[in-house]
Amino acid sequence: MEKFVSLSGVAASMPMINIDTDAIIPKQYLKTVKRTGLGVHLFDEMRYADDGSEITDFVLNQAPGRDAKILVAGENFGCGSSREHAPWALLDFGIRCVIAPSFADIFFNNCFKNGILPIVLPQSEVDALTADAQKGENAVLAVDLETQEISRPDGGVVTFDVDPFRKHCLLNGLDDIGLTLQKTKAIDKFEAEQQASLPWLSRRPAG
């Protein structure tokens, strides 16, 4: 997993509430187990008309939203099903931080496991960042995970909370597999000791 230390980039505003995972990545694109190639289908039904053409007034189809790295969203973002393809699609598009007043629990957890930083802020602060995200070419925010600060275009700073363990994992690029691999020596030691003391556990059946 790629480390998340700091991020500076275009912020796109999607202030609607209850954006669910089927809106983020519709069910017909869940056949793949690859984490790449889903960005083109992110918010598919909002981005494209029935004939496949872009809907011009959708934020990610406009400049500078096409290059968004940060999404400022509404309450209960990521509700619905538990599909991990939702953070995969965001990440493949280029979005590595989502800011909202609240998130669905499973989506919130999946973000951390895939290198995306979800930030929960009071509605008043989200509203201010939403206004920042609507400033066209000046819609740039800077997120610093180490200091837990968001720098706004006008020079203002917003602070945010994050669980210390999840912060450690993001800063060091550790997903569940990475955390397990940190214990490789202990695992190898346990398996060697088990093999020595209980050799029959690893014997293959005859025939």
- Verdict on whether the full-model pTM lies above 0.75: yes
pLDDT at 179: 64
pLDDT at 137: 82
pLDDT at 207: 55
Tell me the C-alpha distance between 39 and 201, whole Å: 46
Per-residue model confidence as pLDDT tens digits over 56-81: 999 999 999 999 999 999 999 999 98
pLDDT at 53: 96
Hey, what's the torsion of the CAs at 122, 127, 129, 135, to 10 degrees? 180
Q: Residues 50, 165: contact at Cβ < 8 Å?
A: no
Q: Which two tokens stand for residue 24?
A: 């983020």
Task: Confirm or reject CATH 3.20.19.10 for domain 6-199, answering yes or no.
Answer: yes
Walk along the chain (207 residues) and give the pLDDT tens digit of each residue: 899 999 999 999 999 999 999 999 999 999 888 888 999 999 999 999 999 999 999 999 999 999 999 999 999 999 998 889 999 999 999 999 999 999 999 999 999 999 999 999 999 999 999 999 999 888 999 999 999 999 999 999 999 999 999 999 999 998 766 666 666 676 766 776 677 787 776 766 665
SS3 state at 87:
helix
**Which amino acid, one-letter code, is at 78?**
G
pLDDT at 183: 61
Residue with tokens 């990610």: 60
Task: Tell me the angle at which helices 164-172 and 105-113 cross, rounded to the nearest 10 degrees.
Answer: 40
